[in-house]
Structure 1
Amino acid sequence: MQNNRIAIFLIALLFSAGWTKAQELPTQKEVMDQMVLTNQYLMNKWPDPGVNVITNKERPSNLWTRAVYYEGLMALYALKDDKAYYDYAVKWGEAHNWGLRNGAQTRHADNHCAGQTYIMLYEIDPQPERIRDIQSSVDDMIETYKINDWDWIDALQMAMPVFAKLTSITGDKKYSERMYEMYMDTKVTQGLFNPIDDLWWRDKDFLPPYQEPNGNDCYWSRGNGWVVAAMVRTLEFLPKDDPHRFEYAQMLQRMLKSILTVQRTDGFWNVSLHDPTHFEGKETSGTALFLYGMAWGVNNGLLEKEVYMPAITKAWNAISKEAVHDNGYLGYLQGTGKEPKDGQPVTYTSQPDFEDYGLGCFLLAASEMYKLAE
């Protein structure tokens, strides 16, 4: 009997040691190697960053999918001072004359997304033309009383960081105050946030009585990931004395606490957070955005390290070991859309309609993993 107990103990010890090794944090070099690899894949594929993107139709490359990629590229550049990264971003801005898709008169959040990188490049080299159109567009919005433009939750990530950055570089709180009004309109007036589950419905089409096949509410993974990223980047860019920081910090904490409970055992998240059987499978973009939020939250003291580190480590290992191809291509990436069924099937080798935003999400997550590994 004693020998049996010892054998069981040794087996458990070996299993525990193996699990710990499998779930250990990467080194900074391992993280950077994957950032460089995946980014180089896209830069090789698009040597001219200004060329139009052709999928089901032709679009200019300052559309939101490419703009999200440049958010990630700027995060990489902040960690690795490679002039090629800076030049690639500047060439993209210059190709569009630092303009926005559909012109400076646009109010659409997707069109504002490019402004995040334009403003970052302005901070590095303050040439007025770099922020001319994005500031003009937001100023025109503020001149009106309309605050319900953000009627889908992706918009929060596309536009809120722009308003936060404009506040930071100008010192004018009109941007941060209008941002708060518009955010609260989306959250409360339009009612896209469910305070019971601490998650967001993507847009009005998914408000109750809409249900997933299992009878639960539809909380789309990447949509909620966009809100997580919006909170992170808004907190990162806003002045420290902004009176609404608590709201954004609390929202991030509430969402991630809820998201933590529905992580898959393999480290990914499903496309439908409350219906794991609806297009069940691994998905990279939502997982990367949740990882970004959790790692940033731990790095900045907003989340308890002992609570979130297991989920962070599992998510990183899932993406880096199972989604990243040897050539830098990202697998398990859901294509564009607004709900679980869009862009299916999602597999290791599936080709989404756009892949640039997925890389942007991954680079943002990896940038925080790099700091965490430190």
Structure 2
Amino acid sequence: MKKKKIVALFLLFTLNLGNAFAQTVPDQKETLKTTMLVNDYFMKKYADCTTPTYVGKLRSSNLWTRAVYYEGLMELHKIYPREDYYDYAYTWASFHKWSPRYGNTTRNADDQCCGQTYIDLYNICPSPEKIKNIKITMDMLVNTQQNDDWSWIDAIQMGMPILAKLGNTYKEQKYFNKMWDMYSYSRNKHGVNGLYNAKEGLWWRDKDFVPPYKEPNGANCYWSRGNGWVYAALVRVMNEIPANETHRQDYMNDFLAMSKALKKCQREDGFWNASLLDPSNFGGKETSGTSLFVYGMAWGINNGYLNRAEYLPIVVKAWNAMVKDAVHPNGFLGYVQGTGKEPKDGQPVTYDHAPDFEDYGIGCFILAGTEVYKLK
């Protein structure tokens, strides 16, 4: 009898623990509602998606900041396929003639980034003009021996998923091979011995930040959003490549190492600082990097690569913090660091201050929302 009571109590405890654990997952409807609120704020404010941006000078609206927004929009369209989402992306891509910024000969990943959305639109409704130009551009990379284009880690997110998407769309290994050649060059050769520090599981933004450069507290300088770009790129690549792709496990190993490192430096309030290891150097809430980390960790949980019990509390804490502290009632997104390449750039970062470009921060947040939405 005593043994039966113990077993019953254990089962009851396990059930209650499971229920309590399940309740930590953000409400799916509320997550979608918040994600749509932030997106709709952007679509209303920038109703004409063909209008050039103006920050100091006019820039074509297929620049990288806008392209990142459309990455988020296309993921939102996958979970909630509203016609106006598709039309907004299609109109933008068509206006730019389905071309990279500055044309088909650019080797700059920032100018290629828009191609991610072109390929997504092509895969919804294939027609040759949608994919022709971005394929020409990436074939140029594939057909040359140069591998050092991604000399800053942001470029990994801007360009690498395009190669993965083309490889998946055309079922051609050459895109996967080139992707690895370029990624591994950035990882292991740029700077002194590469921009990735395997000992700490984090990335220096570019050669200017490898040692002896240090943060004021003596730590290595790991910029939050820069690491977020790599983290998101790994997710977007692994979403495309087959399970038996030669370097899939290499990408997974880096993803897991980064996850472990990022877990250690989350702030108590759920956000991450702009400087991951030095909270004294322009410390405070920062939404763009936090969004990218939530996106990656939620994806890892959803696909069984990250331990749910270990990482779900991190994701939930970060998502709830952003929803509570960064999202305005009208959908404006606060605490987004402006453009730059290190913690001091794009300041101030506050609840009310708008960054120089709003689009990429919103894109990052939408990416996060789409993966949090999938949590069960």
Q: TM-score range by the shorter chain?
A: over 0.9
Q: How many residues align?
A: 354
CA contact (8 A) 1:167 1:239 kept: no
Instruction: Output the CA distance in 2 between the equivalents of 1:280 and 1:168.
Output: 40
Instruction: Output the CA distance in 2 between the equivalents of 1:77 and 1:267.
Output: 27
From 180, 199, 202, give the equivalent of 1:199. Answer: 202
Shift of 1:63: 0.3
From 295, 305, 310, give the equivalent of 2:308. Answer: 305
Q: Percent identity?
A: 54
From 237, 260, 264, give the equivalent of 1:261. Answer: 264
- 2:347 equivalent to 1:356: no
Partner of 1:38: 38
Task: Write the deviation string for residues 2-30 of structure 1: whole angstroms up to 9, x where unpaired.
Answer: xxxxxxxxxxxxxxx9xx89x93221100
Partner of 2:293: 290
Amino acid at match of 2:269: D
Partner of 1:214: 217
Partner of 2:25: 25
Instruction: Output the CA distance in 2 between the equivalents of 1:291 and 1:234.
Output: 17
Amino acid at match of 1:179: M
Q: Write out aligned runs for 1:133-282 (5 A).
A: 133-190=133-190, 191-282=194-285
Instruction: Output the CA distance in 2 between the equivalents of 1:197 and 1:137.
Output: 35
Instruction: Output the CA distance in 2 between the equivalents of 1:274 and 1:81.
Output: 39
CA contact (8 A) 1:79 1:367 kept: yes
Task: Specify the SS of the correspondent of 1:237.
Answer: coil
Shift of 1:241: 2.2
Deviation beyond 3 Å, 4+ runs, structure 1: none
Shift of 1:138: 0.7
From 303, 316, 319, give the equivalent of 2:319. Answer: 316
Shift of 1:127: 1.0
Amino acid at match of 2:244: D
CA contact (8 A) 1:167 1:176 kept: yes
Task: Write the deviation string for residues 212-232 of structure 1: whole angstroms up to 9, x where unpaired.
Answer: 111111000000000000000
Amino acid at match of 2:365: F
Task: Write the deviation string for residues 117-148 of structure 1: whole angstroms up to 9, x where unpaired.
Answer: 00000001111111111100011112211100
Instruction: Output the CA distance in 1 between the equivalents of 2:302 and 2:278.
Output: 31
TM-score normalized by structure 1? Answer: 0.93
Shift of 1:35: 1.2
Amino acid at match of 2:218: G
Shift of 1:312: 0.7
Instruction: Output the CA distance in 1 between the equivalents of 2:139 and 2:265.
Output: 40
- 2:374 equivalent to 1:368: no
TM-score normalized by structure 2? Answer: 0.93
RMSD of aligned alpha carbons = 1.2
Shift of 1:160: 0.8
Task: Write the deviation string for residues 59-103 of structure 1: whole angstroms up to 9, x where unpaired.
Answer: 000000000000000011001111000000000001101111111
Instruction: Output the CA distance in 2 between the equivalents of 1:298 and 1:342.
Output: 32
Partner of 2:330: 327
Instruction: Output the CA distance in 1 between the equivalents of 2:286 and 2:128.
Output: 40
Shift of 1:239: 2.2
Gaps of 5+ in 1: 1-16
Instruction: Output the CA distance in 1 between the equivalents of 2:259 and 2:83.
Output: 35
Amino acid at match of 2:155: A
Partner of 1:339: 342
Amino acid at match of 2:174: K
Task: Write the deviation string for residues 220-271 of structure 1: whole angstroms up to 9, x where unpaired.
Answer: 0000000000000000011222111001111110001001001000000000
Instruction: Output the CA distance in 2 between the equivalents of 1:101 and 1:56.
Output: 18
Instruction: Output the CA distance in 2 between the equivalents of 1:144 and 1:158.
Output: 19
